[in-house]
Amino acid sequence: MSHVVQLEDIHKTYESGEVPVLAVRGVTLTIAGGEFVAIMGASGSGKSTLMNLLGCLDRPTRGRYLLGGTDVSNLDRNELADLRNQKLGFIFQGFNLLSRTTALENVELPMLYGRRHFSTREVRERARQSLDIVGLSNRADHFPSQLSGGQQQRVAIARALINEPQILLADEPTGNLDSKTSVEIMGVFQKLNAQGITVVMVTHELDIAHYCKRNLIMRDGRLVSDTPVVDRLVATEQMQRIVTAETDAKLIA
């Protein structure tokens, strides 16, 4: 499989304070197409900074970043914006949906900023398909405030999917969700991954990382561990167990 992401000795230093902060100090990493990677680490380990670099929201201070074969380390603001729009799908911990805007319109957003212009009908059609993938087509006209956390995150995933990106990047996607909903969201990621979409996510929950195929651990701005997941959890099975447990609890009570 071709390499979707190729990082070569990436450094990121923040100069804003009195003392320069070395957030990422020399990360070399390749991620192939179809992988499902979890980046873990304590807070301050540099995993979020690495995620921002991967997501082209930020530029490395030093090093080379090849995304789908093209060097993106030295692109300008607008070129990075186009990359985010076309090649990347971003999912945040806090969902980051536009309030007072329907689920469907939230999903449409990246298409409106694409360099290619689509007709309103085409945009609507694709947004519906995207919502369909995450199983939310029946909630298209709901506002974020009318949706549960899990549903909001699924809208965010649909939004990330709409421009058919090469890679989905998720920054603590289950951080604001309860455990059952977290499993539900991981199920969505596993389903997408099974269809061939590369997924990279940041998490600090070990059990969530177990749904992925490969675990990276960061400490002090460096990668300290890179292991494949052996006893991988399958979301649908876990969901079954939770549901059974719930029913049992009710039977006992």
Binding residues for another protein, per CB under 8 A?
52, 55, 57-58, 77-78, 81-82, 84-86, 90, 92, 96-98, 100-101, 109-110, 112-114, 117, 159, 163
Query: 114, 121, 105: which is closest to 87 by C-alpha?
Result: 114
Q: How far is the CB of 88 from another protein (least distance, A)?
A: 9
CB half-sphere exposure, 135, CA atoms < 13 A? 10
| DSSP category for residue 142 | -
Report how far residue 92's alpha carbon sits from residue 201's, in angstroms, rounded to the nearest whole number.
Answer: 10
| Cβ proximity to another protein, 36 vs 90, nearer residue | 90
What DSSP letter does each residue of 10-56 carry, written as one string?
A: EEEEE-SSSSPEEEEEEEEEEEETT-EEEEEE-TTSSHHHHHHHHTT
| Cβ proximity to another protein, 96 vs 129, nearer residue | 96
Q: How far is the CB of 92 from another protein (least distance, A)?
A: 7
| Cβ proximity to another protein, 16 vs 227, nearer residue | 16
CB 91 within 8 A of CB 168: yes
| Cβ proximity to another protein, 77 vs 250, nearer residue | 77
| Cβ proximity to another protein, 81 vs 242, nearer residue | 81
| Cβ proximity to another protein, 9 vs 79, nearer residue | 79
Report how far residue 199's alpha carbon sits from residue 184's, in angstroms, rounded to the nearest whole number.
Answer: 16
H helices within the chain, ranges in order? 47-54, 77-86, 103-112, 120-133, 149-161, 179-194, 206-209, 235-252
Report how far residue 107's alpha carbon sits from residue 123's, in angstroms, rounded to the nearest whole number.
Answer: 9
Q: How far is the CB of 98 from another protein (least distance, A)?
A: 6
Q: How far is the CB of 116 from another protein (least distance, A)?
A: 11
Q: How far is the CB of 240 from another protein (least distance, A)?
A: 35
Q: How far is the CB of 117 from another protein (least distance, A)?
A: 6
